[in-house]
Amino acid sequence: MTASTPRGVFITFEGGEGAGKSTQVARLARTLGAHRTVTTTREPGGSTRAEEIRTALLAGVAKPYGPFAEALLFSAARIDHLDRLIRPALASGEVVLCDRFMDSTRAYQGAAGGLDAEAVAALERVVVGPTRPDLTLIFDLDPEIGLARARARAAGQEAQGAQAAPDRFEAEALAFHARLRDAFRAIAQAEPARCVLVDAARDPDAVADAVRAAVAARLPGLLDDTEGRTDAA
Ligand code: Z5A
């Protein structure tokens, strides 16, 4: 499918590990789902083929080949995700909420991983093209807190008998996660028309309020029919 001008609304959620993105994707989906068709998705993944690539990436299969090879694999997954899920949903007028997207490549493989910014920008041009997010919420959190949240979640999963070893990125040193935070903050500063920085250190209800406030300010009308509704589970 070729890139076309989207008619729906594309919102991406970005930030470091354990910042609460998935939690807030689900909450905003519940709020908007009352009066709009909402598709929630994630990267890497979101389509059958992209989920297969996700498994390889998070297992660290591409790590020995360096950040450019990793960026190419994230891009391969993104091409399939865009073609099979995101663009068709936007063309149907849906709201697409995506847990991570192109800014994660900029931050993880680019700023923190050492891949040249021009190479990242070139990939973005050919892979994403005109399908840019209408709004990007960047969840800002001290990486020590985010990693502690991820560890607590893993401990809970292990207590229930599931395997929850850190993935290829969770296993990176704290300095890598600090570079990520700086990179995401720099993206928010560089593209204020697209991005809103969300203080993710607050409790989930306060973060959800900040998310709704950002959506109301940047995408007028999208929340209008949901006024007074709560998105709590
Ligand atoms: N990656 C990349 O390198 N390049 C790319 O181009 C793309 C991705 C697209 C995907 O992993 C990895 O791929 C990712 C970047 C890399 N790095 N890693 N790892 P993932 O999808 O498995 O992981 P993630 O995106 O980092 O998700 P996460 O760790 O699940 O974090 P989250 O979605 O931001 O948080 P959460 O699941 O909503 O919450 C985490 C825990 O904290 C959970 O127990 C919650 O109940 C709790 N939580 C949530 N909100 C709060 C608040 N406000 N207070 C307290 N506790 C909270």
Domains identified in the chain, total number: 1
The preferred substitution site among 153, 180, 199, 211 for testing ligand 1, maximizing ligand atoms within 8 Å of CB, is: 153
**107 inside domain:** yes
Query: Is the torsion defined by CA of 56, 195, 94, 227 positive or negative?
Result: positive
Domain assignment present for 27: yes
pLDDT band, residue 1 (cuts 50/70/90)? very low
**How many whole angstroms from 167 Cα to the centroid of ligand 1?**
11
Range with lowest mean pLDDT among 31-35, 144-148, 225-229: 225-229
Q: Is the dihedral of CA 39, 182, 180, 125 positive or negative?
A: positive
- The helix, strand and coil proportions of the chain, stated in percent and rounded to the nearest 5, come to 55, 10, 35
207 lines ligand 1 (CB under 6 A): yes
Kindly state if the Cβ of 19 falls inside 6 Å of ligand 1. Answer: yes
- Whether 175 is covered by a domain: the verdict is yes
> What average pLDDT is seen over the chain?
93
Mutate to test the pocket of ligand 1, among 47, 65, 100 (most ligand atoms within 8 A of CB): 100
Å from CA of 99 to ligand 1 middle:
8
Taking the CA of residue 168 as reference, the ligand 1 atom at the shortest distance is 19
Q: What is the pLDDT of residue 157?
A: 86
Which tokens is 203 given? 């409790």
Nearest residue to 74 via CA among 114, 24, 124, 33 = 124
4: pLDDT strictly greater than 60: no
**Mutational pocket test of ligand 1: of 13, 23, 180, 205, the residue with most ligand atoms within 8 Å of the beta carbon:** 23
Question: Could you report the per-residue pLDDT of 78-122, keeping only the tens digit for each?
Answer: 999 999 999 999 999 999 999 999 999 999 999 999 999 999 999
Identify whether 3 is part of a domain: no
CATH number for the domain that contains residue 131: 3.40.50.300
Domain of residue 170, residue span: 9-226
Cβ-contact 11, 96 below 8 angstroms:
yes
Q: Please report, as a single letter, which amino acid is at residue 186.
A: A
Inside any domain, residue 103: yes
Mean pLDDT score, 39-53: 98
What are the φ and ψ backbone dihedral angles of 39, each rounded to 5 degrees? Answer: -110, 125
In a domain, 231, yes or no: no
Q: What is the pTM of this model?
A: 0.95
Domain assignment of residue 2, yes or no? no
Task: Quote the pLDDT of residue 6.
Answer: 47
Of the candidates 38, 167, 208, 181, the residue with the CA atom closest to the CA atom of residue 104: 181
Q: Does residue 209 lie within any of the structural domains?
A: yes
